[in-house]
Amino acid sequence: MTALREITLGQLLDEAVEKWPDQDAVVYVDRDFHLTYEEFGDLVDTIAKGLMGLGVQKGEKVAIWANNVPYWVALQFATAKIGAILLTVNTHYRSHELKYLLEHSEAENLFIIGEYRGHDYLASVYEQVPELKVQERGQLHTNTFPHLKRVFYLGHEKHRGMYSIPELQAMSAMVSDQDYKARQAGIDAHDVVNMQYTSGTTGFPKGVQLSHYNIANNGYWIGKNQNFQPGDRLALTVPLFHCFGCVLGVLACVNHGVAMIILEDFVPTDVMLAIDQEKCTAVYGVPTMFIAMLDHAMFDRFDYSSLRTGIMAGSPCPVEVMKRVMDKMNMKEITICYGLTEASPVMSQTTIGDTIEHMTETVGPAMPEVEIRITDPETGEKCASGVQGEVCCRGYNVMTGYYNNEKATIAAIDTDGWLHSGDLGVMDDDGYLSITGRLKDMIIRGGENIYPREIEEFLYTMEGVLDVQVAGVPSEKFGEQVGAFVILKEGVELEPEDVIDYCRGKIARYKIPKYVTFMTEYPMTASGKIQKYKLRDHAATLWPDA
């Protein structure tokens, strides 16, 4: 009998409110923001009705460009309850990337914050949508983004052309309970509820469409594999715009009655304080986050005895780091996850009781209700145990497709329903998966996936650049850094700093090349294909201390 449920995110939250009304749901340690599941459910309903009152229809996209601020999680469920699609925007994006996303997604709504890490979001939005300053709210018409109807400020301040959170909540009075329930009754578990843009090997990001069914069930099993129980408390330090935050975090918690102790950003002392004060039983992070806490001068001042489990994901964990996490942070039952956005996102996870070898050398067995197989990239045949091939998965978790990109969807999901990850791996006789490399030229920097083609396309727009190839540079701290190998036009002279300066403010900071070198030719195969692995090897000799 299957354990999969035909359930919407709205129904999932309603169940949690009914089962655990007085349990903590959302807590911000650094301010007076503390909601039980019942209070959180009421907030979600108010925001959902407010969106309906302003005319947001089923199927509309609601983009959110913000870090882990209060109301983010409420908006995740409010959009789900009225059949809208939450479009999560990477907080590191700049105006160049925001423009592409709004155009390609045809988003009707946009929520923003004021600024983040020195980047003025308000200025970026007014630059892209100057009509906001002169047109009446609710009457927005812009030639650049013809689908965009409304812009919201995710806070209490008022800004020209935008609705504030209090104004949105006030609009809830315009919608009756009857109309609200009727809207919810028309939502199906297989409707798209979440859209995330993931960088593409063809140069531009693609909108991954995920359904209620995809992510509600994935969240259940992620929490189940950590043995989450009502009353557990998760220190949620990873970005909510990423599946790590909004699925592994939020949906695992709501499935199991767990409190979300949310931090706006990862600051080691803030996380350690939250674990101590809130008696957290779990914490999430990429290996670099755990290393930053373990190596912090104030680490020993905090109490970690409440910790039990959590998730480490994003990049492989060194054995010694895993031992320190289990011993010094008391996380004896920590788990490792692997997946990709297109897989909702987790396809494999270690389980409680696995050995350290399993947790550092593998990414666990297939999740319940998910099939994983290793496929020969040339023949498409299944590989034998221990033989390297492409990691593929099939099951409830496979995305519904890429938005307005049927060609890319067909390339990613074959006719038998297998999602091709682009990662290379092997599976042992016990079904444990190990990731051994990549078919695609992806760079993973501290858990952030970076596709070289996207950066290459951008750098081609720089005056004087004839050709450019981007590849990963091995890095002890981040796993990999971004390296750019540039061929200049004849007679042009540039310094590495010129290339880096050209990128600033135009593409996300984590995508900006850390290293730049100039070349006269690239290593090629006999058929004329550039050998990126040789560029990576060359990078290791050029920048050995990266």
What pLDDT sits at residue 1? Answer: 41
What pLDDT sits at residue 346? Answer: 98
For the whole model, what pTM was predicted?
A: 0.86
Range in 9-23, 75-89, 118-132, 194-208 the model is least confident about: 194-208
More confident residue, 454 or 75: 75
Q: φ and ψ at 326, to 5 degrees? A: -70, -35
Overall size of the chain counted in residues: 546
What are 86-145's pLDDT values in tens digits?
999 999 899 888 999 999 999 999 999 999 999 999 999 999 999 999 999 989 999 999
What pLDDT sits at residue 55? Answer: 98
Identify whether the C-beta of residue 93 lies closer than 8 Å to the C-beta of residue 508: yes
What pLDDT sits at residue 201? Answer: 43
- Mean pLDDT for the chain? 93
Distance CA 279, CA 458 (A): 46
What pLDDT sits at residue 528? Answer: 55
Distance CA 222, CA 247 (A): 9
What's the mean pLDDT in 294-298?
95
* The token pair that represents 140 in the structure block: 């927005």
Instruction: Look at strands 282-285 and 233-236 and give their pairing.
Output: parallel
What pLDDT sits at residue 314? Answer: 80
What pLDDT sits at residue 138? Answer: 86
The domains of the chain, with CATH numbers, are 443-542 (3.30.300.30)
What pLDDT sits at residue 544? Answer: 84
What pLDDT sits at residue 144? Answer: 95
What pLDDT sits at residue 62? Answer: 98
Range in 58-67, 200-209, 257-266 the model is least confident about: 200-209
Q: Is the pLDDT of residue 468 over 60?
A: yes
What are 146-156's pLDDT values in tens digits?
999 999 999 99
Distance CA 129, CA 142 (A): 7
User: Which neighbouring-strand residues pair with 87?
Assistant: 63, 195
More confident residue, 527 or 167: 167
Order of all β-strands in the sheet with 433-438 = 370-375, 389-395, 419-427, 433-438
Distance CA 472, CA 542 (A): 12
Burial (Cβ within 10 Å: 0-12, 13-18, ≥19) of residue 48: buried
Q: Is the pLDDT of residue 312 over 90?
A: yes
Identify whether the C-beta of residue 9 lies closer than 8 Å to the C-beta of residue 212: yes
Residue 389: CB partners within 8 Å, gap ≥ 6? Answer: 374, 375, 376, 377, 383, 424, 425, 426
What pLDDT sits at residue 529? Answer: 58
What pLDDT sits at residue 527? Answer: 45
Distance CA 402, CA 438 (A): 21
Distance CA 453, CA 185 (A): 43
What pLDDT sits at residue 467? Answer: 85
What pLDDT sits at residue 389? Answer: 92
What pLDDT sits at residue 32? Answer: 87
What are 268-282's pLDDT values in tens digits?
999 999 999 999 999
Q: Is the pLDDT of residue 261 over 70?
A: yes
Q: Is the pLDDT of residue 517 over 70?
A: yes
Report which DSSP code applies to 317. P
Q: How confident is the model at residue 196 (pLDDT cuts 50, 70, 90)?
A: very high
What pLDDT sits at residue 59? Answer: 98
What pLDDT sits at residue 202? Answer: 46
